[in-house]
């Protein structure tokens, strides 16, 4: 039985673009004890593939982390599939704030060591002894207290386009970098209220337990993350303390939470909060680009990437041999293997010169 979709992604994206059926984009996570992750993964893939679920899912012995889209017509079948898995019954489903149904184009379920890469040894502390959950109203109230410190547990490219008022936003590429950095920065504030937030809550589940283990007295986390906060704010007419966009890990790359634009185009500097994936498939660098620069630079992050995509396909294939391959949707670090490879870049300009 086929338990992987190996059709070319360009073909799948074209198919999705033409598909008129409505889809619901959502995310969820659940910490649990999964014995045989491979069997669980295959069972989930078989169930979800049959009802047309797309998305990216990580399965580990510690639980499940999923960002997916479901055909609206199969919503009841999806909920029943969730009910069939005992530990997923009643799990919070974070429905997307802005959704065009084009967030994912195929189903990908991977077995990982952890559902979020945190670099922690879970055997050294109780991961279930987490911080106190706050709903939107309680979050607004507690964060207005001068004895409260707000910590964004996301990465720099996420907080760059949107974050809560007065939040500390670590300048890091990964969650595992943020944990020790914030522990050190908050060493003298262990008696204050530490309120953490992330996209959907999963990173704060682990971070809050870790910081409690490290001696922080009053640890809190935003329940359901930015996604659930936004839903509650809009439903209850509360004051929205989040400014800008919420970065999301699918093809949308962002959801508009407030009208403020707090970041700028990485190429021209004008106000902009539109993330894009460099059009050079050998680069895939994630960066912010305005419409004008997207047109001028053909969706590329640098001149060398723009030059690269102008070369014949056979030449591009030859030059790719010197690049470390990756299967990521985009490269989230400050640079990409392509941009770091000066030898390949020199060859690109050599080929362009010949043309």
pLDDT at position 210 over 90: yes
Q: Residue 206 corresponds to which tokens in the numbers above? A: 């682990």
Last residue in a domain, options 62, 81, 111: 111
pLDDT at position 333 over 80: no
Do 101 and 158 fall within a single domain?
no
Mean pLDDT, rounded, of the chain:
92
Do 104 and 136 fall within a single domain?
no
pLDDT at position 267 over 60: yes
Residue 259 lies in a domain: no
pLDDT at position 354 over 90: no
Domain total of the chain: 3
pLDDT digits (tens, 9 = 90+) for 56-88: 999 999 999 999 999 999 999 999 999 999 999
Give pLDDT, residue 123. 86
Do 86 and 144 fall within a single domain?
no
Active site residue 305: no
Lowest mean pLDDT: which of 65-74, 250-259, 317-326, 332-341? Answer: 317-326
Residue of 198, 265, 293, 300 marked active site? 198
Do 307 and 349 fall within a single domain?
yes
Do 159 and 75 fall within a single domain?
no
Range of the domain at 326: 275-354
Do 296 and 335 fall within a single domain?
yes
Residue 93 lies in a domain: yes
Give pLDDT, residue 251. 85
Do 153 and 221 fall within a single domain?
yes
State if pTM tops 0.85: yes
pLDDT digits (tens, 9 = 90+) for 217-258: 999 999 999 999 999 999 999 999 999 999 998 888 999 999
Q: How far is CA 43 from CA 46, 109, 180, in A?
A: 5, 11, 37
Give pLDDT, residue 232. 97
Do 14 and 91 fall within a single domain?
yes
Do 88 and 133 fall within a single domain?
no
Between CA 286 and CA 44, with CA 174 as vertex, the angle to 5 degrees is 85
Name every residue whose Cβ is closer than 8 Å to that of residue 244 and which is 6 or more positions away in sequence: 161, 162, 163, 257, 258, 260, 261, 262, 263, 273
Range 24-52 average pLDDT? 95
Give pLDDT, residue 321. 82
pLDDT at position 138 over 80: yes
Do 198 and 140 fall within a single domain?
yes
pLDDT at position 329 over 70: no
Residue 121 lies in a domain: no
Answer positive or negative: Cα dihedral of 63, 69, 74, 76.
Answer: positive
Give pLDDT, residue 328. 55
pLDDT at position 172 over 90: yes
Do 21 and 77 fall within a single domain?
yes
* CATH number of the domain residue 148 falls in: 3.40.250.10
Q: Binning pLDDT at 50, 70 and 90, where does residue 355 land?
A: low
* CATH number of the domain residue 107 falls in: 3.30.70.100
Residue 256 lies in a domain: no
Residue 223 lies in a domain: yes
Residue 4 lies in a domain: no
């Amino acid at each position: 039985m086929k338990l992987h979709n190996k059709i070319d992604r360009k073909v799948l994206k074209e198919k999705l673009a033409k598909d008129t059926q409505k889809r619901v984009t959502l995310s969820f996570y659940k910490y649990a004890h999964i014995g045989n992750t491979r069997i669980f993964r295959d069972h989930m893939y078989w169930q979800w593939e049959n009802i047309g679920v797309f998305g990216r899912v990580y399965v580990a012995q510690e639980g499940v982390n999923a960002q997916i889209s479901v055909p609206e017509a199969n919503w009841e079948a999806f909920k029943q599939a969730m009910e069939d898995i005992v530990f997923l019954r009643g799990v919070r489903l974070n429905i997307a704030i802005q959704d065009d149904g084009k967030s994912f184009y195929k189903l990908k379920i991977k077995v990982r060591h952890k559902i979020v890469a945190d670099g922690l040894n879970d055997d050294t502390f109780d991961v279930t002894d987490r911080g106190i959950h706050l709903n939107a109203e309680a979050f607004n109230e507690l964060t207005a207290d001068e004895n409260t410190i707000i910590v964004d547990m996301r990465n720099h490219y996420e907080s760059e386009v949107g974050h809560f008022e007065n939040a500390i936003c670590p300048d890091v590429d990964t969650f595992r970098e943020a944990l020790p950095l914030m522990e050190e920065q908050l060493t003298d504030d262990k008696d204050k209220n530490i309120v953490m937030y992330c996209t959907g809550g999963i990173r704060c589940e682990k971070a809050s337990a870790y910081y409690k283990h490290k001696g922080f007295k009053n640890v809190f986390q935003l329940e359901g993350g930015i996604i659930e906060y936004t839903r509650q704010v809009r439903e209850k007419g509360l004051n929205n303390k989040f400014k800008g966009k919420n970065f999301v890990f699918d093809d949308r790359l962002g959801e508009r939470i407030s009208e403020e634009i707090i970041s700028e185009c990485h190429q021209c500097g004008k106000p902009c909060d539109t993330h894009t994936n460099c059009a050079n498939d050998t680069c895939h660098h994630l960066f912010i680009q305005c419409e004008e620069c997207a047109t001028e630079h053909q969706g590329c992050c640098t001149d060398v990437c723009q030059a690269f995509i102008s070369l014949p396909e056979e030449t591009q294939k030859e030059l790719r041999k010197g690049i470390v391959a990756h299967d990521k949707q985009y490269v989230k670090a400050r640079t990409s293997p392509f941009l770091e490879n000066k030898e390949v870049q020199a060859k690109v300009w050599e080929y362009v010169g010949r043309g």
